Amino acid sequence: MELRQLEYFVAVAEEFGFGRAAERLHTVPASVSRQIARLEHELGLRLFDRSDRHGVRHGVRLTAAGERLLPEARAALAAAARVRDTAAGITAGTEGLVRLGTTRAFADRVYRALDTLAARRPGLRVRLERAPQEARLAAVRSGTFDAALVRTLRRADGVALHPLWSEPLVAALPASHALALGLAEGEAPSLDRLARLPLRLAPRAADPALHDLVTAALPEWTPGPPFTTLQDTLTELAAHPEPSWALFHPVGPLPPMPRITFRTLPDLTVPVSLAIPSGRPPTPPVQALLEALATTTTPPPPAGTPPKGSAPTGTVPTGTAPTGTVPTGTVPTGTAPTGTATGKAPAGAVTSAVR
């Protein structure tokens, strides 16, 4: 059975004759008659009554079988039209599905980008897939993900990196030592000053790109005690008699930590990029997502936020968490399941909520 046969069947039924159907279809009546005969043969049913009454032909009428099949034929043609329209939308980037590898660290920025995308291209869906960074990159290379957000990397095998934004790192150090360094309220410490203190940095094997970035920025850095877990490291920073410090990625809010101060380091930033398969340009849907992410800016701080470069002792700026607590891209405990977003969240746009 061909769609053309169904199209001819519907035309004859609606025009009550082969001649008028042929005019509508821009063909000849004989062609319409042949297609209807083939359809009837394939279905094993008689669709039209072609008999004359009193020697006079009054056109063709649907048989009972034809009447029953007519709405099904119309539905099949409508479904085929939707397939064509969707395919055209995918080609144009207004329809389709993008499988985006991400992590909770990017949630705020991603959701705001999806708001933008929903306004521009409401037919385009984005499915958020959570995975560690190396797994996200592997999924892009294999084609399992269409794109993935990655941090710190400036190059990677098998993928093309499209820079989106940069994130400053955050330093955590004992509040008493911040005063000893002569830091005024709101003042970001210089890297030279911090280099004099032992640095609790995750091993290079846990996050090679970050480790290399930090050690390049601090060529004469002093290794401190090993970084263990977030809670333990901050506790040791506060309690250890010998001062040291640690670095943090922007991720999410931290619980208050007594005797610890957090300072943003504007001179030490890490890039965030969109990784796509190398060797070919982004597909139109991925290009639309890339543009939405690239134009999504950092939200302004709420009223009463401390000056840039500082945070109150025992708190951390919203959207930051320790670098080295887990390898880059690792999903923190309690991460919600993978979900699909139509470009907006929450407001019902996430099919399976990603929190």
Residue at token pair 């263990």: 228
* pLDDT for the residue 324: 39
The three-class DSSP label of residue 315 is coil
Q: What share of the chain is helix, strand, coil (3-state, %, to 5)?
A: 40, 20, 40
Average pLDDT for runs of 10 along the chain of length 355? 91 91 92 92 90 60 93 93 83 83 91 93 92 94 95 91 90 72 63 81 82 85 81 81 79 71 82 93 92 79 40 40 37 40 38 30
Q: How far is CA 58 from CA 23, 40, 70, 253, 350, in A?
A: 18, 21, 20, 79, 57
Structure tokens at 320: 């930051």
Helices (H) and strands (E) in the chain, counts: 11, 12
* pLDDT for the residue 69: 94
* pLDDT for the residue 353: 28
Cα 7 to Cα 24: distance, rounded to the nearest angstrom:
11
Residue ranges of alpha helices (H) inside 16-124 are: 18-25, 29-43, 64-92, 107-120
Segment holding 93, helix H or strand E? none
* pLDDT for the residue 188: 67
In a 13 Å sphere around the CA of 268, the CA atoms on its Cβ side amount to: 28
8-state DSSP, 53: B
* pLDDT for the residue 187: 64
Phi and psi at residue 158, to the nearest 5°: 80, 0
* pLDDT for the residue 254: 62
* pLDDT for the residue 293: 94
Cα 51 to Cα 288: distance, rounded to the nearest angstrom:
58
Contacts for 295-302 with beta carbons within 8 Å, 24 or more apart?
295/116, 296/109, 296/112, 296/113, 296/116, 298/109, 298/165, 299/108, 299/112
Residue 125 contacts residue 77 (beta carbons within 8 Å): no
| Residue-by-residue DSSP string for 275-293 | EEETTSPPPHHHHHHHHHH
> Residue 23 CA to chain centroid, in angstroms?
49
Cα 355 to Cα 110: distance, rounded to the nearest angstrom:
12
Residue 134 contacts residue 237 (beta carbons within 8 Å): no
* pLDDT for the residue 93: 73
